[in-house]
Structure 1
Amino acid sequence: MIPLATTQSVLAAGAACVAAYFVAPSLSCKAFSRSVWRQTGRPGKLLLTFDDGPDPRYTPALLDLLGEWGVPACFFVVGENAAACPDLIRRMTAEGHEVGIHSYRHENARFRRPSFAGADLEQSLAALRELGAEPRYYRPPWGNCNPFTLYEARARGLETVLWSVMAQDWERGATPRRTAQRLLGRVGSSSIICLHDRSMGKSADDTAPGRTIQALRLALPALQRAGFTFILPEEMAR
């Protein structure tokens, strides 16, 4: 019979390994790593970002709205969605927006093997370069990483950008007014805002991006009246 103390030691070592691979990298990325952007670093300057797109049903209307208000944004696109909507990627870059990487298939890096991060980034880079974009920024889905994610991003010249404000705009029943209220109540002096122009995931409402656009019609003028201006990632400061 294996001694109880030995069994406990083995279990503790196993738990530590699981935490080191599956928990610690994401926690560090979201809260501690100095190489990850979570604020713009510039008082009064906001970064508006959108995840999961493009989506031919919603992204064109969103681009129209941003153009109407003169607001630049960073679109963290899913590679296979971008490949299916090449004209939208070209329109984003032509209209002065930034196109970043949000994985190729919106997969959670936390639960993938060590080689996943590099392969996913290479596939995403190839897809976007084929469309004339040259990504400089990366956002892992759900902000989740494995121990190799940030290293592989840096090795390809990509800076990792997370967020400081979400409005749960993907939720079922999230009305435009409620989403706008959440934004206005949560935005701070140098916030990075994360919204969505496509719904991906089991908990997401497929029609939610349409309501996000309506919410921005309420929130953008209010933020501008409050003295905020919008910048691109290259204008952020440590």
Structure 2
Amino acid sequence: MSILLILLILVCIFAIYSIIPTLVIRAFSIGIFKSAHIKNKAALTFDDGPNPSYTPRLLDLLKSHGIKATFFVVGENAKAYPEIISRMHREGHTIGTHHYRHISNWLLTPREVKEQCRLAAETIEMITGKRPVYYRPPWGHLNLFVNWASRPYKIIMWSAILGDWRYKLGKDKLKQRLHKSLHEGAVIVLHDSGQNIGADQLAPEMMLQALEEFLQEKNDKIEFVPIDVLCQHEESKESLIEDNLNK
């Protein structure tokens, strides 16, 4: 068997395990949550923290506007900065898992995915006394078995991911994207750390500036709430539909 053929087989296996499931699951919302049909509410979510420089400032900003958000934290970062996790919990934010280390599901076996989720959840629970129930895969990467491997956690994706990990995007353009992405039931992703592959270290500074101006300008008709509120609303609707069908 030629080297070229072997490489082709390996590429096909990788695509079947990782890229194709990611595209299909996202497109058809199979086992994932992306948005809700709910009036006057949306969710702000933040990935990759906590970061000792940016996350406390973000928490100050959210507190000044009375906003409860959702943080998908990296377990090893939570372990390094437990006081920030404690503050998130104390101030009423929802904390979800983002793996123990920021590793793509494309590079993990199902058992390793389960272990990454478990370690992150246990770290958060040790700090807050509450075990997370929500999970967002790093980079939004899924794989063929992720719906099984991530149980019992609910996979949360997004309705808008705005590219705020790139510093060159700029404050004004990010603010425009925030305004454009805001609608009832939206799940918006931002990042409070720039330490991962593909991110700029100073990008969270730009994000904070854009978010502060956006919050001052946004339509007050839409309230930002933790992801719990949106998920529970959709679950209640589904339960009501099932009850009506069974009558």
Whether the TM-score (by the shorter chain) exceeds 0.5 is: yes
Q: Find the counterpart in structure 2 of residue 164 from structure 1.
A: 159
Instruction: Determine the C-alpha separation between the residues in 2 that align with 1:224 and 1:64.
Output: 21
Q: Find the counterpart in structure 1 of residue 228 from structure 2.
A: 234
Q: Find the counterpart in structure 2 of residue 5 from structure 1.
A: none
Which SS does the other structure have where 2:167 is aligned?
Answer: coil
2:117 to 106, 118, 121: 121
Q: Find the counterpart in structure 2 of residue 4 from structure 1.
A: none
Cα shift at 1:164 = 0.9
Alignment of 1:136 onto 2:133: yes
Letter in 2 for 1:150: N
Letter in 1 for 2:202: T
Aligned-residue Cα RMSD (Å) equals 2.3
Cα shift at 1:11 = 9.6
Instruction: Determine the C-alpha separation between the residues in 1 that align with 2:191 and 2:14.
Output: 31
Alignment of 1:152 onto 2:149: yes
The sequence identity of aligned pairs, in percent, is 36
Cα shift at 1:178 = 1.9
Does the CA-based 8 Å contact 1:111-1:146 persist in structure 2?
no
Which SS does the other structure have where 2:150 is aligned?
Answer: helix
Which SS does the other structure have where 1:47 is aligned?
Answer: strand
Instruction: Determine the C-alpha separation between the residues in 1 that align with 2:25 and 2:124.
Output: 24
Stretches of structure 1 lacking an aligned partner (at least 5 in a row): 2-7
Q: Find the counterpart in structure 2 of residue 45 from structure 1.
A: 41
Deviation track 1:98-121 (CA, whole Å, cap 9, x = no partner) reads 000011111001122232111111
Does the CA-based 8 Å contact 1:51-1:197 persist in structure 2?
yes
Does the CA-based 8 Å contact 1:40-1:47 persist in structure 2?
no
Does the CA-based 8 Å contact 1:29-1:144 persist in structure 2?
no
Which SS does the other structure have where 1:195 is aligned?
Answer: strand
| TM-score calculated relative to the size of structure 1 | 0.88
Instruction: Determine the C-alpha separation between the residues in 1 that align with 2:174 and 2:76.
Output: 28
- Once the two structures are overlaid, the 10-residue window that deviates more, 97-106 or 142-151, is 142-151
Q: Find the counterpart in structure 1 of residue 245 from structure 2.
A: none
Does the CA-based 8 Å contact 1:52-1:198 persist in structure 2?
yes
Does the CA-based 8 Å contact 1:117-1:148 persist in structure 2?
no
Which SS does the other structure have where 1:103 is aligned?
Answer: coil
Alignment of 1:222 onto 2:222: no
Which SS does the other structure have where 2:46 is aligned?
Answer: strand
Give the number of equivalent residue pairs. 230
Q: Find the counterpart in structure 2 of residue 201 from structure 1.
A: 196
Cα shift at 1:66 = 0.3
